[in-house]
Amino acid sequence: MSAAATVRLPAGWARACDFPRVQIALTSIAAASALLLTSDTWNWTIAAGIVLATLITAQQLRHILPYTRLWPKQSADSGASATGSTLKVLVSNVLQTNTRYELLVDQIEQHQPDIVVVMEVDESWIAALREVTDQFPYKVEVPLDNKYGIALYSKLKIDEDCVNYLVRQGVPSLVTTCRLSTGRKMQFIAVHPEPPMPHEGSVERDAEIVLAGLIAAQEPLPTIITGDLNDVAWSHTTRRFRRISGLLDPRIGRGMYNTFHASIPVLRWPLDHLFHDPAFTVKSLHRLPYVGSDHFPIMFELALLPADVDVDATAEAVKTSDAEEANELLDSVPDVNTKKIKNTGTHKVL
């Protein structure tokens, strides 16, 4: 499985191996410890087993250590003076078949976010949330019965909104332009691409993630992209997305904040994300309690730096291989829709 995760093929089985890197590392450490503690005699077989387990552990740590407090933070902390341009974002994949609506309603009531993004919503979920979402004057709702319904509720003024089907009909994403309380504009994007399945490829998921990154890269306004990416933070796909978009991951240097699977503690990884422009700083980041879904909600509180403050260029540089891979990926998806994407022109990475 460790070797499979290094194979950069769009095969679902290979991409799924990106997910359990923490579990692989812990298993390798346990195996090496068992060999050391239980072997009465030393031989080449035992030595080879310990070396192999050590190499596997090192390979996993290379990917997951940035998502611990042992690593420098990629997103700067907000200063005490950050007040006027702050926003609180709550993101939740509700699980369409989940009917414990009141648990999410209670979380929204308790935390009073400025923006709520919910995924896997159908008409029943839209109706059940109405008691709390009526507090939000701006909303974009796309309820669906295929587990790809999505909705955005905002206390911030939405000047523009667009529902996109970037790769496949029935899998929507939302692109909005919002105004913070100070009047400054920002772009806010919500996505929920399809997951990689063992018997299928991940091309469409990867293409949608690339397209979301391109929208951010070609938009002059400060941008936030959030949602259930059906991908872990440390995967090659997500790291390439960060470089293409120029956005930052607030998890780096703060922790994993695993959001899936809520009911299986030993199989958890970070699938629900928020990436932000370097003009934003981070006030807080919290995984919220169980709401009946297979995902935990997650909440981010950010602050936008004043317009006259120089932004520290902490975003990662785009690699030549990123452009080549993205072009090849997008060319392989016949139904890529770029007509509704504002300010992107062609879908090619130039």
Distance CA 94, CA 147 (A): 10
- Stated pTM of the model: 0.89
Can the peptide bond before residue 261 be classed as cis, meaning omega within 30 degrees of 0?
A: yes
Bin 148: left if φ > 0, else alpha if -120 < ψ < 50, else beta.
alpha
Distance CA 64, CA 22 (A): 7
Q: Chunked in runs of 10, what are the mean pLDDT values of the chain (350 residues)?
A: 49 69 91 83 85 93 96 90 82 99 99 99 99 98 98 98 93 97 96 82 90 95 98 96 97 98 96 98 98 99 88 78 89 64 36
Q: Give the pLDDT confidence score for residue 35 in this predicted structure.
A: 85
Distance CA 94, CA 126 (A): 11
- What domains appear along the chain, each with residue ranges and CATH number? 4-67 (no CATH), 86-331 (3.60.10.10)
> Tokens for 254?
């703060």
Q: Give the pLDDT confidence score for residue 17 in this predicted structure.
A: 79
The long-range contacts involving 9-17, CB below 8 angstroms and separated by at least 24 positions, are 10/196, 10/201, 10/202, 10/203, 10/206, 10/329, 11/201, 11/202, 12/196, 12/197, 12/198, 12/199, 12/200, 12/201, 12/202, 13/198, 15/196, 15/202, 15/231, 15/235, 15/237, 16/196, 16/198
Q: Give the pLDDT confidence score for residue 342 in this predicted structure.
A: 39
Radius of gyration for the alpha carbons in the chain, expressed in angstroms and rounded:
21
Q: Please check whether residue 271 is in contact with residue 305, taking contact to mean a CB–CB distance below 8 angstroms.
A: no
Residue type, 338: T
Distance CA 231, CA 233 (A): 7
Q: Where are the beta strands (DSSP E) in 231-291?
A: 272-276, 280-287
Distance CA 248, CA 226 (A): 12
